[in-house]
Structure 1
């Protein structure tokens, strides 16, 4: 009897523990931020085309084109880049100490002369609604810290008795822009300020924040504060950190606080930038996992430079081979894909890049992506296709200035062999490969294959 009573008491304790755990789990659970961006985000960003100057009608036009031509291929984010709060923003740089649009709590708001629907305190809500009604998601760029203008006028932090001057770190400055001071997160009100701006963004319907001047140099406390503010807002907002290079030594912190982080400084349409990105991507390849994406930066393809920070109105100066190489590398390495060209004036060749579903599938639905072979200027990546029996990817790159012509044996990339036809995904051509793969690449060119392999 004593043993039975012990068993009964033990069972009741287990049942109580399970029941209490089930009751408390929703209260104790941390929001599943890691489940945001379960695949690399794909979208459009205004920077490469419009720099600091993009206007509401241009954002809408890009959203219209994405919805009509690209959404079915997985493209979904429309992101307004830097200085949407600067009424007199200009191409080719920033106006020093510009007068910014902000509310009575030091929070930046869209410049109404550029974003007319923001009138009467509506902020980006009407524009976000427009984008959402297209079945897309809306994002904005922000700079680290609190506006210097808010500090000079010493605005009160929303919901507190603390003022902007109490939390500003006037020694923490952006190296390339004069809009902001850093926030001293050890001061009372530091977190409240970040909470207040993200609450505003959540109210507007923002789905994506590109936070700049955050990760190079690495501002850990403000990154953590922004991450907490997103959690406090209750809205699922993807956080992307810029600029690069983000430090590899902070990989754990980056993973804990963001879904994307830049691994290099701004990428533009020249081969040197693309070639150098290989080294960065290779270094970060083991850190790629669902919800956490090392970001090789935007795709400077198509029609760019309309009113950009760098360069004049032009089609991308990368050759067609170099453009395919860029998108092949971003895809096999699973970098986020943020297109920088102007979508309403998209040219036919760039359209073929952005609508190749097979290549994009490697970016969105693959695992185990890594360099399997490297010799001279030849790099070969392999990956497994998610959910496909024995389906794998091979991507080969010629980083040099002379042609590559070689026969790659399966053993050289750690495979036992391949069965059936191999398809090159840019050309849709079947190629033989019983004993290996013949690789012929022009300078700066690449190929990506789908392979049935054991």
Structure 2
């Protein structure tokens, strides 16, 4: 039997005021084509993804957006209207099909002349493109900085503040174009956290904004991004969310424990949950992780307060999140790379507002009520694993 990280835990709570907004009142949930299909995605792939979102139970678990990422674009005609390429013969019909499944549909563009995959961007055509999206029935726009960085650098060489203002203005321009359509479209800013995006993205209508560079299907990449969210909780709330990037659950060589850690961290962060796995060959294990209703309920808690770090050691991370019913979500992560390493840690329940030094606990991954836990109770967590508890008085 392999050795696991063992320690004793106690609990603290953090708070964040939330501002309610109608659109994206809870973090958006769905599936995005890029992580699995990249530039090969087609109309048929999106239709099949919609079917599988329903049959797998993902839709009923809350994953409602089916988002087309890069490489759908064709060329503009003489009037500047952008037409999809041959992979997407009829976007309106595709949107109607996705909607018929009780799902919503998203699309991708860039404020630059080209997207990251060198397809047609929206520069100079913002209103035209937004109007087209609305006519198709698009519900979600991912707007990726991409080639616009070159425009910024060429127009303002060696002047980073001016470059950043140019970037912010570009995102505001598309925001205004979306508003002009009158259609509620979730606005996802993909700008890699430049100029502390959490500070300015809500002001340009962002419902979610990337806080870091792209995620990869590797434990180190996922954890680096997750840990960089520490201290950002005050910037998130209903209608506006920090986005640590899409889920890689089920991708690459992530182990069961690493997938659980990934899902746990994103739930604690009130992060948008955008799966990106192969829905056709999704294992029962991956499905159970992605559709764990108790874990999703933490992510989607209506209070909308993002969790934050309580304590960190060399091989331990403890994060806490206050919930709308007065309870506290507590996540404990073993970040050790050593299969045989063991540690003991003591925290006190009183520090979390549990004056008696005890709390009622439920393990949200095992779906078990643990009863009353005390300061001296021990939780055993495997290498790269996590425990997620819901604590009540």
User: Aligned ranges for residues 283-294 of structure 1 at < 5 Å?
Assistant: 283-294=231-242
1:75 equivalent in alignment to 2:63: yes
Which residue of structure 1 aligns with residue 189 of structure 2?
241
The number of residue pairs the alignment matches comes to 351
**1:288-345 deviation line (CA, Å, top 9, x unaligned):** 111111101111222xxxxxxxxxxxx5311111111111000011010000002122
Q: 1:296 aligns with which of 244, 254, 261?
A: 244
Which residue of structure 2 aligns with residue 134 of structure 1?
101
1:409 equivalent in alignment to 2:348: yes
Structure 2: give runs of 5+ residues left out of the alignment: 1-18, 150-162
Cα pair 1:404 1:442 within 8 Å, conserved: no
Which residue of structure 2 aligns with residue 46 of structure 1?
33
Residues 289 and 451 of structure 1: CA distance in aligned 2, closer, same or farther (over 3 Å): same
TM-superposed CA distance for 1:181, in Å, is 7.2
Instruction: Report which of the two has the higher share of helix.
Output: 1
Which residue of structure 2 aligns with residue 200 of structure 1?
132
Cα pair 1:418 1:452 within 8 Å, conserved: no
**1:390-430 deviation line (CA, Å, top 9, x unaligned):** 42211111222234443432135454246664111111233
TM-superposed CA distance for 1:379, in Å, is 1.7
TM-score (normalizing by structure 1): 0.72
Q: 1:272 aligns with which of 196, 199, 220?
A: 220
Cα pair 1:381 1:394 within 8 Å, conserved: yes
RMSD: 2.4
Which residue of structure 1 aligns with residue 390 of structure 2?
450
TM-score (normalizing by structure 2): 0.83
Cα pair 2:270 2:304 within 8 Å, conserved: no
User: Aligned ranges for residues 102-113 of structure 1 at < 5 Å?
Assistant: 102-112=76-86
Residues 404 and 115 of structure 1: CA distance in aligned 2, closer, same or farther (over 3 Å): farther
Residues 420 and 372 of structure 1: CA distance in aligned 2, closer, same or farther (over 3 Å): closer
Structure 1: give runs of 5+ residues left out of the alignment: 1-31, 86-99, 119-123, 148-173, 184-189, 303-314
Distance 2:311 2:352 in 1: 6
Distance 1:413 1:373 in 2: 12
Please give the secondary structure, in 2, of the residue aligned with 1:52. helix
Cα pair 2:20 2:237 within 8 Å, conserved: no
Distance 1:247 1:359 in 2: 32
Please give the secondary structure, in 1, of the residue aligned with 2:228. helix
Which residue of structure 2 aligns with residue 26 of structure 1?
none
Larger radius of gyration: 1
Q: 1:349 aligns with which of 266, 282, 285?
A: 285
Q: 1:428 aligns with which of 351, 367, 385?
A: 367
Distance 2:248 2:201 in 1: 25
Q: 1:65 aligns with which of 41, 47, 52?
A: 52
